[in-house]
Chain A
Amino acid sequence: MTAAATNARIRADRKKKTRQFITPEGVDLELKIASSGLRFGALVLDLTLIMLSLLLFSLLVAWGGIATQSDIAVSIWLLGAFVLRTFWFIGFELGSRAATPGKRMMGIRVVARDGGRLTADAVVARNLIRELELFLPLMMLGVGAAEEMVSAWTAVAGVVWSLTLSLFLLFNRDRMRMGDLIAGTWVVMAERAKLDADIATDGAGDAMRFSEEELAVYGIFELQELERVLRGKDPRAMREVADAIRAKIGRPIAEEDDVFLLSYYRQLKARLERKLLFGKRREDKNASD
């Protein structure tokens, strides 16, 4: 596969994950659908946290029960466990960040699909369905194990059937669970990006001048890769990139890598942004200049 095709594929993938989401002000927020891996990670984190809090809660109740010598502790434990299990997700998703602790750590959140606000009933619906998605396969396994008259194959068929429901999100483009489908919600990326310093202004950067021909070899994709390398500040990666650029434009190795790259980056950015202002967007080096 050629480099051009790879770049095109990366861009197409990115586009496939972005959904139009227009605010009342008319700006498209371009929400990105959270990947199934992130969703799974968030679920595992949440379940672990629930287990941990349940353990803590159990210890607390057991201590209280022994101290007071009464069986009201059993009731409290039953109720507490039920509330924890049912309302952990609902409670957190009703908050202003619309995300459970697991989702927060993964940088994702729940959003209403129609762009309206996320209502309480939608949150309730999507999380009650979770009960089914999580526990039906387990129940099928349990039934299969408990009742000997059910043959192993029936149990396997049951588990597979229930797994298709649980893994529903793998089979659609928008990564919707059964619950998302019914509640009319999406889970999207809500990462926080820190505002990094503007590398186009600070320090010395105009040490070298590049000619129009030397700058004309690259497009936006390469510029942004260069930006990533510059922000990463890894000397080995900088050396490789600097050598690649030098070879491409035919410059001898004469100056420090970072000075060279920074100067090249600035002038390339200035050139491409100027073109952008005139309505010419050159996606990558393979596009026409």
Chain B
Amino acid sequence: MTPARAVDAPSFSTSRFRAEREADWIAFDLLLTKLEKKGAKALTSDELLQLPLLYRATLSSLSIARATSLDKALLGHLEALSIRGYFLVYGVRESRLNRLRRFFLYDWPAAVRAVWKETIVIALIIILGALTSYSLVANNPEWYFNFVPEEMSGGRDPRATAEYLQSTLGHGKEADDDAESGLHVFATYLFTHNSQVSILSFALGFAFGVPTMMLEYYQGIGLGAMLAVFAGKGLGFDFGGWLFIHGTTELFAAALSGAAGLRIGTAVVFPGARGRLQAASEAGRTAGKVMVGVILMLLVAGLLEGFGRQLITDTMLRYGIGTLMLAFWLAYYYVPRRQDVT
């Protein structure tokens, strides 16, 4: 480090270069190890001040070594050390808590707002699916069996009696008493299952969004077919309540996951002025944020479905809760806020 010594040395030697700088590299290595193991909080203020200095010293050593030294072990060590240092020094700029706060306050709603066009498209697709199957099943109940697999329907098909259908909605005479103990199991199962499905519908998006749209259309189909069966028995209103309490949250989440997938699909097909790769990665980041939100929403939906729906049997109350949830999500996502950073 001292230029005076270099002056009185007639010939530059890489061994001397190493002897002079080695202490810095070792100190930097130790500091990085400490930082990796215990985090930035474990460093004293002295060490924190040292960090960028040692980082720059190491980078400058690397440049000099590349230009002058042929010692492979030395070059390898300096390269590895610089790479490690670079990612630690430039890597994390905010604490996890801060990151979390920003995600909930700004990033999540902003990402959802950014995919609003896709959300509308997917919502229309779901509605289209529901309308298709509704009109088909309403005209000819036989269609039902094409849409809803036998084991999924659990006896809720056009052959069932109105009483039975009523009981499946949870406020008939035969509302299960023993079902209550298993509620949380049911809720967790619903949550994990729905999450996997929406992750899939998101992940399928890059295939130009086609599989995503098909998956969402299929979701709509199942919905419409069920609705037609219940409406045919004059239970449409009750079924609506049964569905509404968690459905507003769950279907919203499903639409968002589809929208996230579609976003990636459209970015790949129509990258615009950007490169295709860049467009895909930008869309991917927005979609990633949306997806974390979707999983959280599905957690809420699972709770509403598993507990709320089984414990609250009054149809009007169910509608009320469903509407409230919808209003909450809409306000959370779409009401503009002052300090939007993204």
Name A's B-contacting residues (CB within 8 A). 23-25, 27, 29-31, 71-72, 74-75, 78-79, 81-82, 86, 96-98, 109, 111, 113, 117-126, 128-129, 131-132, 135, 165, 178, 181-185, 190-196, 198, 200-201, 220, 223-224, 227-228, 231, 269-270, 272-274, 276-277
Contact = CB atoms under 8 A, between A and B. Distances in A.
A123 B313 CA distance: 42
Which DSSP category, helix, strand, loop or mixed, fits chain A's interface?
Answer: helix
B70 A223 contact: yes
Nearest to A113: B281
B70 A198 contact: no
A223 B285 CA distance: 46
A132 B74 CA distance: 42
A96 B92 contact: yes
Contacts, number: 185
Interface stretch (B14-22, B123-131, B167-175, B244-252): B14-22
Contacts of B76: 193
Given A117-B92, A125-B288, A184 B282 contact: yes
Contacts of A185: 281
Contacts of A129: 203, 206
Nearest to A182: B284
A238 B59 CA distance: 34
29 contacts: A71-B185, A74-B188, A75-B185, A81-B192, A82-B195, A86-B195, A86-B199, A86-B295, A96-B91, A109-B87, A117-B93, A121-B286, A121-B292, A124-B288, A124-B289, A124-B291, A126-B284, A128-B291, A182-B281, A182-B283, A183-B281, A183-B284, A196-B74, A198-B71, A200-B71, A201-B15, A201-B19, A231-B73, A273-B68
A117 to B, nearest CB: 6
Which 7 pairs between the two chains have the least Cβ-Cβ distance? A184-B281, A125-B288, A132-B203, A182-B284, A121-B288, A124-B288, A196-B73
* Most chain B CB inside 10 Å of its own CB: which residue of A81, A109, A128, A190: A128
Contacts of A270: 13
B287 to A, nearest CB: 6
B45 to A, nearest CB: 20
B182 A184 contact: no
B82 interface: yes
Interface in B1-23: 11-15, 18-19, 22
B289 A121 contact: yes
Contacts of A194: 77
B184 A72 contact: yes
A27 B280 contact: no
Contact-residue size bin, chain B (C-beta under 8 Å from the other chain): 35 or more
B214 interface: no
Contacts of B88: 96
B284 A122 contact: yes
Interface of B: 11-15, 18-19, 22, 25-26, 29, 35-36, 39, 56, 59, 62-63, 67-74, 76-77, 79-84, 86-88, 90-93, 99, 103, 107, 111, 181-182, 184-185, 187-189, 191-192, 195-196, 199-200, 202-204, 206-207, 264, 277-278, 280-289, 291-292, 295
Contacts of B36: 96-97
A128 B185 CA distance: 25
* Most chain A CB inside 10 Å of its own CB: which residue of B18, B80, B99: B80
Given A27-B63, A121-B107, A182-B280, 8 more contacts: A117-B90, A121-B111, A128-B288, A181-B277, A185-B281, A190-B80, A193-B77, A231-B73
Contacts of A30: 79
Given A25-B59, A195-B22, A118 B91 contact: yes
Given A29-B82, A132-B204, A224 B70 contact: yes
Contacts of A195: 22, 25-26, 29, 73-74, 77
A182 B271 CA distance: 13
A190 B99 CA distance: 26
Nearest to B96: A94
B114 to A, nearest CB: 12
A182 B70 contact: no
Nearest to A24: B90
A25 B56 contact: yes
A78 B15 contact: no
Nearest to B203: A132
A75 B206 contact: no
A120 B80 CA distance: 24
A198 B18 contact: yes
Contacts of B103: 120
A276 B69 CA distance: 8
B200 A125 contact: no
Contacts of B207: 165
B291 A184 contact: no
Contacts of B69: 273
A210 to B, nearest CB: 17
B202 A128 contact: yes
